[in-house]
Each structure stands twice: as C-alpha cells, then as structure tokens.
Structure 1
C-alpha cells in the first residue's frame, strides 16, 4: 500500500459506521424495553406546539404567529384540557395517540444552562453532568445508562445501543461500545470493495483486526436489510420522504436489534417567518408527527415495550420578534410516547403564563429539570435503584411524574 492509498483509506474510515462495534451483531431480547431519544436540534418553539390556550398573555405576545384558541375554525388549536391545546398540524398523528393515552407532555422542562447557545446547551444536555463542575466530554448520559443496564459491562451485549446519526453523538460516547449509522444514506457506502480490502490489510495483524472485520459485517448486514426495504418501497409506491421513512427504518432496527437508540432532527431555529397554523414550523410539526406515528406502527407488538422521549436544547422567547419569528429562550416542552405509558395528560410542575411568571421577562421558566425528569423516567422503565441512577445522573434525585 502506498502513501496515497493509505491516506485515502484513513479518510474513508471517518465515514464508516460500526468499525469498532462488535456488539451490533447481537439482537436485543424480544421482551427487553426499548428507549428511543429524539433530539430536536435548533430549539423548537414549544409555545406553538403545546399551545397555552388559557393565557391571554400568549395572544397579546404573539399578534401574528399565535395558534387560535380551540374552536370550529380551520387551523385552531386542538383542545387537550382547559389550559392547553395542540398544534392543528398534529390532528391526524399525535392527537389520536393522546386520546389513546400513548403520549404525554411535560411543559416548563429543560436545563438550567443560561447561555442560550445551541452548541453549549446541546453539549450540556447530552453530557447530563452538573454544570458547576469539571465535566467529562467522553461520557454521555445514554452511554452511562447503557452501562447500568448492562450491569457495568462495556460490551453493550445486554442493551445494545445505536445512534442513527452520521457521527457518534456526545450523548452516547463513553465506556460502552456503541455504533452509529445514518439510515437515510445507508446504501451509499463511503468505501468500495478495493478500499475495503486495503483497510482489512492494514489491520490484519493488529489487535483491531476482529473489530474491523465485524464492522464491515455489520454494514453489509444493514445495507442488505435496507436494500430489501427500498425494493419493497418501490413496488408499493411509497411516496413519503424525510423523517417518516427514516423513522420506519429506525423502528425496524430497534424492533429486532437495539434496546437504546438516538436520532436527532435539525432545522428548528425559527427566527424569521416561522408561521402559525401554516408555514415553516407547521410543516415541520406535521412531518415529525407522521414520522413518530410511522415509528409506532412499525414497532408492531414491541410498541408496548417502547418509550420515545422528544427533547430540545431549550425553548424560544414567549413573545414573537420583529421578524415574525422567535429567538433563543429557556424552558421547553418534552414529549413522552409509548405503548406502556400513562399518556393523555400534561405532567410536571406548571405555572399560569402571565407577564410576571416569565423567566427574565422573556421565556418559559424551567420548573422540571431535565435530569430529574429523565432520571425518574429511567428509574421507572428499568427499575433503577438510587446508586444506579446516580451513575447516570450524578447527584440527582429522580422526579417521578407517574408517567409509567
């Protein structure tokens, strides 16, 4: 192998999912609980998702982008209770799940980080570590959860995990071996057969030889499965795109192989012309709702053992800005879905939305701290004791909201 070939191979390796993750070859037990965390990167506008319909202040603060109170007019909010409504773009997807008690919402949720920086806050959430201490940037909280579920082992065999992303996210970095692969482009391998052979030659006599070979095996297996699905899609003339199709692929892998999963969905930074019942944000809600419904349907009978948590780095300003959008805020709304949850309710500590209740006179306050909320949820799903929970979220007492 000459120098040019070596450099080409090393560059290609950066795009190769699963090279070092032998645990991917193992299937998750059929009865094992599944957890998928969906991260909405960009800070979605929670006030137009879970609409505070009882708040006159909301309508005063959003003269052009507020969602109308529940009523008979097209585009009005869907009443969930006396205080809250759901964006109308979700009438055919999430609302039936709410009626069937398969989804619940937690307003005023988030992190105490006040930077309002996308990257800093995303990192802080994914690490799940205290903000006022030296942090370990090689230890994400889902990786620590996998370690606890695996009984302290680092092979991921008891709870194999997968990030459905181009690169391994911070949230799943750590001692447990975790793979990553973006299913939206799984059939487009960054390596041809000649490059595969060169890489195998490079590592043949090293300690990494077995892991490299298993990595190639994982990719070939996933590509085969996804190609079969794509062929079936062509015959059945499936016309939907984006997150809905990817969610179906993720469900297939989670149903058969993985107990822990992570996916991020971008494009939620709506500073300009975000719209109200229609527009940019409404379209994103509609597509995300279709994707989550497709995920539920594709999970089949495993849906009863599945929990999906949807979060974002922070919320957005309560008042609309001068460009008919919203700016970086603080508190947000989390979603919890699943076949075994106590859905159809709005959970957590809440406060009436009046001018005096806003954080710094601009944002939702954080009343339900994310580590406490997730810690309580994880404790319920996996039966974690206080010591185990402390491994996942050090120094945090879980907030049991009664979701499970």
Structure 2
C-alpha cells in the first residue's frame, strides 16, 4: 500500500471519528427488538410531483403538458398512470409502490411546501432541512436529538458523503458513510493488521491532562477498530424474505439501511439522498426508458425491497420522502420542467395512515390557481408533516423546541 493511499484512508477515517463515529453502543448492540425508526429520503433537485403522483382527473394537466403528461389509467397502456383513487395515479414505473399503496402502506401528500417558498435549490434545501423559513445552521433532526439524554450520536446515521443539514448542529456530529461495505483501512489483511497495531499503540497511552480534546480523541481512537468491524458486518448482511434490491447506489444504500434497522437497535434516524431530479430537459413521460421513469422505478423498487427485507421490523419503521420544491405546471420547450413550488411528499410503512392527504383540497392547475401563474400552490405546510412524525415516530413532546416559530398543527399521516 503506497503512502499517499495510506494517508488518505487514515485521514478519512479520522474525519469520520471527528464527525461523530458512534461509540461503544454500536459495537455491542444485538438484533433484539428496537424502537421506532424514521428514515428520511431527500429527493435532491426538486422532483416533479405532478408526474410522480399524476392528477389524471384534472383535465388542465393534459393541456399544460402535451408531451410529458402521463396518460390516464383509462388508456390501459404500459405508459398510463397507475390509478390510486380515481383522481390521482402513480407514474407507471412505480408499480411496486402502488402495491404498497393498495395495502394501506403509503400516505401521499401531493401539494406540500411553505408560504413564499424559494425556488433556489440551495435555499430551498436549507429551509426544508432546518425547518425555519429563514434558514439556519441547526437541523430539525439535530434539534430533536438535543432533547434526548445520553450519547445521542449513536441514535442517527447518514448514508451519504457528508452529514446533512437536517442533522447539523450537535456538539458531536453524527456519522456519515456513503457505503458501509467499504469501511476498510486497507485492502489486504497484512496491511489491516499493521494499521491496527499502529492505532492501538497510538491510543493505548493515557491521554495528556489539561487538553480539551484529548479524552474525546482517545475514546474515538480506542473504539475505532471495533466500531468499523461492527458497521462492516452490518453493511454485509444478506437481504431477507426474498427482497431484491436494484443494482444501483440507492438500492445498495437502502439494503444497508434495512441492515442498520435490524442490527443497530439504538438507531432512531437514518438519512439518505436520491438526486437527479432537476429535469429542465429530457425529462420523459411515461416511457420506461425516460429519465424520470428510470429514477422513479429505482426509488419504487428499492423502497419495496427495503420493507420486504425488514420483515417484522417493518412495523416500527416509517420512511419519509421529500424534496425542496416541485416543478412548473407546464412543460418547457426542452422537454422538461423548471423550478416550481409545491411537490409530492410521501410517508411509507405499515403504520402510516394510507391514502391521499390534501390538507385544504386539491389546489388546481388553472392559471388563477397556480402560484405566480406557473406552479402548483401548496395546501400542506411541510412542518405539519414534521410535527406528526416527530410525535408519532420519535416520541417528541417539545415541538416548539424542534420546530421554532411553527404552530400550525399536524397532518395525521403516521398513526
């Protein structure tokens, strides 16, 4: 192993420790029944909610999208929407999720956003992840963890390149790993043994007195190898119950998320990202080879496999899919859609209140009904969803501390 590679890998693991590599509980927990778990999937880029959950009962939808509109279920073709309630339907690539909807395991919210919403990806994502409409530096999930006692960093993990803003602001940040199966300091056993000896020698001595970070760094160093071994084992767990994940990065991460739920019972929160939704051009309609069709098929099939894999553990898990904004009601001249306003969110799992949740009703697609004449208006404030999952999934009792400035109640999507 060359010196550059060694330094890069060692520094990346040191960074993982600095980012809050969970302590002893990670290495010692067993697969005994745990508590409720909230899994967040952020659709980064602003997914087109109108083609995720198709309002086929609104004729205006078809006049606004002459080439991108998903045909109504009555067409009976492979590119037709999968009917949900006679008015809405899933995109045709989402048959696996439609099966879950029909069994009452999907709560669909077709018009979620907040007042005077930003159309900037960066500002919009910041607002959704901090849950304050002026944005901030502390995430809503981090504020929830701050209300708990003990080592809260072992209660959350992000399957991503870095800790998301939703989990930022803790005194000791939680861990972020894009792939639990690649947490090796070296490729060969001899190199791993050599590095283990180096780490054990480096952290075996008593930390110097008076140094503000010495004890914490020593604790991270001495537990590093055991924790890595524990996470590697979780990442390599075999799917159960015949679950078949797509051979994609997101499919792998959802498989590892299921393993974390089953193997790390102290976890309350897992976050993931699924990007590629900024479809200004070449979005595609209902055709299977379209850009959005392929993204939605991967999402739908991965989520279905995730809950299949969980088996009996599925009853304590809720998955929340969200995005920073939707797309324009009308298609553009490049075969795509531009930054819009309200979008579709979903809560998925055996304990959701399945069906369509519209808040104050369907906002409509007529020019006078659209925000600024171009994008879907919202009927559910996203914080009403947060209030619900915080209370029902995570047992939060001090919502004002987690959602400062919000007092608009909640939408009952999780029971």
TM-score class, shorter:
0.7 to 0.9
For 1:286, the equivalent position in structure 2 comes to 297
Q: Report how far residue 321 of structure 1 moved.
A: 0.7
Higher mean C-alpha deviation, range 331-340 or range 179-188: 179-188
1:362 aligns with 2:374: yes
Summarize the Cα distance change of 1:215–1:11 in structure 2 as closer, same or farther, 3 Å threshold: closer
Equivalences for 1:272-351 in 2 at 5 Å?
272-278=281-287, 279-350=290-361, 351=363
1:131 aligns with 2:134: yes
Q: Is the 8 A contact 2:360 2:380 kept in 1?
A: yes
**TM norm structure 2:** 0.84
Summarize the Cα distance change of 1:212–1:129 in structure 2 as closer, same or farther, 3 Å threshold: farther
Equivalences for 1:9-28 in 2 at 5 Å?
11-13=11-13, 16=16, 20-22=21-23, 23-25=25-27, 27=29
For 2:211, the equivalent position in structure 1 comes to none
Over the aligned positions, Cα root-mean-square deviation in angstroms equals 2.9
Q: Which of 31, 37, 42 is the matching residue for 1:39?
A: 42
Where 2:142 maps in the other structure, the secondary structure is helix
Structure 2 alignment gaps of length 5 or more: 208-213
Distance 1:222 1:333 in 2: 33
Q: Report how far residue 69 of structure 1 moved.
A: 1.1
**TM norm structure 1:** 0.86
Q: How many residue pairs align between the two structures? A: 387
Q: Report how far residue 90 of structure 1 moved.
A: 1.0
Summarize the Cα distance change of 1:227–1:334 in structure 2 as closer, same or farther, 3 Å threshold: closer
For 1:79, the equivalent position in structure 2 comes to 83
Q: Is the 8 A contact 2:235 2:259 kept in 1?
A: no
Distance 1:20 1:39 in 2: 22
Higher mean C-alpha deviation, range 49-58 or range 21-30: 21-30
Q: Which of 254, 258, 265 is the matching residue for 1:247?
A: 254
Distance 2:245 2:317 in 1: 27
Where 2:356 maps in the other structure, the secondary structure is coil
Q: Which of 167, 172, 188 is the matching residue for 2:167?
A: 172
Q: Report how far residue 12 of structure 1 moved.
A: 3.1
Q: Which of 102, 119, 122 is the matching residue for 2:122?
A: 119
1:182 aligns with 2:177: yes
For 2:151, the equivalent position in structure 1 comes to 155
Summarize the Cα distance change of 1:197–1:126 in structure 2 as closer, same or farther, 3 Å threshold: farther
Distance 2:385 2:367 in 1: 26
Q: Report how far residue 259 of structure 1 moved.
A: 1.9
1:213 aligns with 2:219: no
Q: Is the 8 A contact 2:321 2:346 kept in 1?
A: yes
Q: Is the 8 A contact 2:237 2:259 kept in 1?
A: no
Equivalences for 1:224-239 in 2 at 5 Å?
224-227=233-236, 229=238
